[in-house]
Amino acid sequence: MQDNISDPISTIAKQEGGQKKASRDLSGRLGNMPVEGVQGFGIIKHHPPPFDPVAQFDEAFDFYEEHGYVVVSQLSDGEVTALNAVCDAFNAERGAEIDVPGQGQLLFPLLNYPEFDGTVFHPKTLPLVARILGGIENTRHIEFNYRGWQPVTSDYGMEFHPDDCSGGLLTLDQRQTRRPYGPPDMLSTFTYLTDVDRTTPAFAVVPKSRRTHNIQRLRDVLGDEYGEVPIWGPAGTCCIVDRSTIHTRMDPLEKDTSKQRSRRILHHVFARAGELRNADGSLRTGNGEPLALTDWAFSRGLIPKRLALSEDPEVARMFSVWSTRQEEWMAAGFSDVFVSDPKSARGPTLGPYRNDGKQTLTKKKAAARRKRAKRKTASRK
């Protein structure tokens, strides 16, 4: 059968060390920290300068097809300044309410911060996202979050991993056998609001990893071609990546915490809607599915009324993938009481939240996370 990517198939044995490992992505995180005290293998390689996604549209698309990611210049200096001003305001307003122990800040701006709507439809990135997903008519937006990271107080040592796609419907076996591979089920875009270099954490990818979930096996297949690529660039830089590509938040290469700097990032997830078939005529699974629901991040994937019921047909189509929680919220008339989540709220805190994220984050778990983060931090001083 014909295919449109050259990523090698790199499997992991069903039995290894007496432990059975399933084919789903989340199970594949085992084995992705092969070197003690190092994320991945520590084989650092570098991406080419960011593409201009307008002037170099075809070149950017071709690079994505070959590698599973592409780095482009997205936001102007003025856009970066304006969006950071909003971030300054909600960080001051929300404070510790949006802290996730060990991880930094997490906010879902889509609900109450229309200042960010333009990042979904940005003219520099949406056309490229749409081409990768098979056309704007098949492109759907399913998640948007803001994340902040600070030295010492935020976590270190994230494992390399692929993200689960299509609500868990897309297994590793399906990613390895479908022909053609693309369009992918889901794409992520990661846009920097701060400069990212060796003194900050960086979004990092393992190129050509869309058909595996284990970097040890992938390195065996790729040999000298294998590499772990930190995405470095000025504020406004954007990485467009297949959600199944193995990636991580790479720790600052500068290990002196007094010299490390904070980072802000915007993360969008787009899904490919519509029915697709393999070259042999079999139906592909998983397209256009909402992401999994969680209690600790209640607002994940929720779409406000101004977008879900927009009178603009292109906007309404973009936000037409609804989770069961979204349908419940709509049935409740988009009630603020239904959401009641500090990770999406705007304005002064008036009382206790109904969905404060503590349902699944007990004091014991939070303390354990802080202890791990403190231990990792101490090892880097």
**Residue bearing tokens 């991040």:** 297
Question: What integer pLDDT is reported at residue 102 of this predicted model?
Answer: 72
Both structure tokens of 332 = 């409740």
Per-residue pLDDT tens for 130-156?
999 999 999 999 999 999 999 988 999
**Whole-angstrom distance, CA of residue 131 vs CA of residue 316:** 19
Contact 16, 150 (CB under 8 A): no
User: How high is the mean pLDDT of the chain?
Assistant: 88
Q: Is the pLDDT of residue 381 over 60?
A: no
Stronger pLDDT, 164 or 87, i.e. the higher one: 87
Both structure tokens of 70 = 């592409």
Question: What integer pLDDT is reported at residue 373 of this predicted model?
Answer: 47
**Whole-angstrom distance, CA of residue 240 vs CA of residue 310:** 26
Across 204-218, 224-238, 312-326, least confident range: 204-218
Q: Return the number of other C-beta atoms located less than 10 Å from residue 287's C-beta.
A: 25
Domain residue ranges of the chain, discontinuous segments joined by + = 23-380
Backbone dihedral region of 309: left (phi > 0), alpha (psi from -120 to 50 degrees) or beta?
alpha
Q: How far is CA 380 from the centre of its chain?
A: 26
- Name the pairing type of β-strands 186-192 and 104-107: unpaired
The pLDDT-based confidence of 186 (bands split at 50, 70, 90) is: very high
**Whole-angstrom distance, CA of residue 273 vs CA of residue 120:** 16
**Whole-angstrom distance, CA of residue 189 vs CA of residue 265:** 10
Contact 106, 294 (CB under 8 A): no
Is the alpha carbon torsion for 136, 137, 139, 142 positive or negative?
positive
The pLDDT-based confidence of 168 (bands split at 50, 70, 90) is: low
Q: What is the mean predicted confidence (pLDDT) over 30-35?
A: 76
Is the alpha carbon torsion for 83, 85, 89, 92 positive or negative?
positive
In 3D space, the residue among 155, 104, 153 whose CA is nearest the CA of residue 267 turns out to be: 104
**Whole-angstrom distance, CA of residue 165 vs CA of residue 186:** 7
**Whole-angstrom distance, CA of residue 209 vs CA of residue 10:** 9
Residues 6+ apart with CB under 8 A from 63: 48, 51, 70
Question: What integer pLDDT is reported at residue 32 of this predicted model?
Answer: 83
**Whole-angstrom distance, CA of residue 107 vs CA of residue 295:** 14
Is the alpha carbon torsion for 97, 103, 104, 107 positive or negative?
negative
In 3D space, the residue among 149, 150, 154 whose CA is nearest the CA of residue 101 turns out to be: 154
Contact 217, 166 (CB under 8 A): no
In 3D space, the residue among 316, 314, 320, 321 whose CA is nearest the CA of residue 291 turns out to be: 321
Which DSSP symbol is given to 278?
Answer: -
User: For residue 136, what are the CA distances in angstroms to 61, 130, 131, 187?
Assistant: 15, 5, 7, 13
Superfamily of domain 23-380: q2cbj1_9rhob like domain (2.60.120.620)
Written as one letter, the residue type at 282 is: S
The pLDDT-based confidence of 22 (bands split at 50, 70, 90) is: very low
**Whole-angstrom distance, CA of residue 182 vs CA of residue 278:** 10
The pLDDT-based confidence of 19 (bands split at 50, 70, 90) is: very low
Contact 275, 287 (CB under 8 A): yes
Q: How far is CA 169 from the centre of its chain?
A: 18
